[in-house]
Amino acid sequence: PHELPPYEAAGANISFVGNPLVDTVHAEMPPEEARRHFGIGAGDVPILLLPGSRREEIERLLPPMLGAAERLGAADPARRFFLPVAGGVDEESIRAHLAASPAELTHDARYALMGLSRAAMATSGTVVMEAALMGLPAVVLYRMSALSYLIGRLLVDVPRFSLPNILLGETFETELLQGAVQPVRIAEEMEKIIADGADRLYVTERLSRAAAMLGAPHAARRVAEKILALGRSA
């Protein structure tokens, strides 16, 4: 919905009909079945690492995520770290970083895993919105080359880069960019949303609001209906 004003200002006949993620992001199995599937015990605290799918994202963001996971695991041995691998991702580039890591690779039922998990460290992108739809709070990260960052700062001035934050116009989920993407800082921010308390409650409540702003299910059907109506009136 926040994308409408520039088109409206230009005179476009435009409307927001919803987002198809609402239809696609659902747990693939019930919670108890998912716990058995992933071997998650009653005392385990699942935490997700979501480093993105591009090689550059994996190379720049997975190492600090793993460093943060090491710190978080040392603080509480009940914490278990899962790294879902989507189809098309270069799994070897991920495995190269995991030699001494506590993270476990998974290959299926990622939405069910999101629903079971306590928190995530995630690369900015669609996956952060998917996590929001599953009620999963995240610390959102992004890091690019110094040159790309410099050019971007010259051309674009945006106050936030995480989709849920953009939807609400408020930075309620922590965003760490460039030099701030460090294991110590990530771990500190993760602790705030892992622990029960005001910080976690604040984030989860606003995630629910952001998810609601994506609209009702069946957005694709509404798009088709509008196209057909325009065809009939032509």
Give the E-state strand segments of 51-127 in sequence order.
Answer: 79-84, 103-106, 119-123
Tens digit of pLDDT for each residue in 81-110?
999 987 777 787 788 778 777 789 999 999
Indicate the DSSP class of residue 197.
S
- The pLDDT value recorded for residue 101 is 78
Strand partners, 103: 81
Model pTM? 0.88
Band (pLDDT 50/70/90 cuts) for residue 49 is very high
pLDDT for residue 163 is more than 80: yes
Tens digit of pLDDT for each residue in 115-162?
999 999 999 999 999 999 999 999 999 887 656 656 666 666 677 779
Residue type, 93: S
H/E segment holding residue 94: helix 91-95
Strand partners, 80: 46
